[in-house]
Structure 1
């Protein structure tokens, strides 16, 4: 016996009739869902770019914003600070040696011209000029020397970081892109350089050359670019096998165009973060070398030189060490906090 089953259309019509609905759906059974105004605006505005979202995340980080403001203020003071009075960082005035800081109107903050014994040194010597950060043993204005030292330290750090960036990006990019035997040889060279302690290389290089700004910068970049090269190589190894790179190569893009237009822009985030961490490291090395006597020599001023001078007179004249120590601490902490903020802002995983 043959069993008969209703067709799908007849079955659906029967079910709808059993529910009290018409056999065929009509337009009045459908009501459009109202669209909220906020959702309409959200859908109508253009999608934000990666860099715009990164900047928004960065400026939501209070620590990074405060650090950026501090760095801007210190950079401006490093430029204009040495010219805010009539003294130069080299000028010596022995009768005004070892004068404590004095600022009219800020005596309540300790800038009152009194030494550790409470004696008003300015009145005792009959000095009418106020030295805002005091003077050193040669009568040189510490205010001018501190900001000139900040200028020199920042200059050394920025130049060293830029050269590390340039060498590291080119070296790491070429190593990762071509791979194979070229990559093996280039990585063995990096392993040899990293096998030698960085500080020893820098000290030996400075001992060969005369201490100065140029020799310190060259000493820093001998091995300083290695970290940048490894970061760039690791990022490019992840990117060069992806579809957009293969498509561009299939369309006939040259190696230089692939590196410049496709690979480098996609590793700019890690590069920027690495540079931001390199700058305080360079400042530390410069200060350390100057502190142990292998850096800049008098009468040049850097934060390391000023800290070394203040260390010798910390018991009698603590302001000589305290002021440059506070400045270099602010610079290094601000760069590190800003680098942390940039790392979080440029990380796609932090996107909400």
Structure 2
């Protein structure tokens, strides 16, 4: 199978995953060679490194999967995002030919290449000089036009430029007012903003001085930014609990959902829990395949977990177990709202010298 056929198969896989593939978006993914943006290879899920000389390299590149391209110790610090998530975010961005786009987080350059294929002119900003240099080199080698990569603090955006759209490809606690100040009236920002230990993608509108509002697009998990974009604030949730940090749990309420919630419905419950409880985050729970939604106590050792079957597992602090049961009842009573049903109002918070717009109030 040649590269063109592999890209066509990737587009089919993205459609099957539920990505909204317009004709223009499908054409962009079918035209841009993803392999050109990972010339140094990427980390295999089972360990080790996949390189261009490996027999399975092209097959792995063209899977609907994230490709981790840089690690610091064991911590991923740069990647090529999952294509179906990229497609969802690009569809929400609603890019038209001639649009000027500010991208925060250059990554491999692949997302900027897709934006260029959609007809946009792009300024991509990355705080990591080596990441920016590799993205710029890959874009040049692939013959991509209308993309400028800059090294700098993403909080500042791209001073001196005006944009129709802003897209952020790294997890943040909130939006820099400077992005909104560089955005023309009527423009939109698509941003993964921290909420209960994850980074749901928001479509955000409003001027730098406010009011600023948002709609929820989809669940996601991104690597976190650095600096003022991840500043703590009064609306923040606890950081996720590390393995072994949460004390052993016991069942305090039986399963509520039979069968258990699917992945998307579970994320819907998770989002609502983050709206209704400031201690919502996630933690590794023994016996659970993935991290679970938890209400984490201040000491970070006690808490209550809600796995996908709707049971409640807890240790210490009975009030948190009761809160978890109340969240389950309330979510059911509200008709199990999807995260896209929420409307968000943002408020200025974070550092006094570098404030950020963060989610503060929600309505269904």
TM bracket, shorter-chain basis: under 0.3
Q: Which has the higher helix share?
A: 1
Taking structure 1 as the reference length, the TM-score comes to 0.21
Taking structure 2 as the reference length, the TM-score comes to 0.20
Q: Which has the higher strand share?
A: 2
Larger Rg: 1
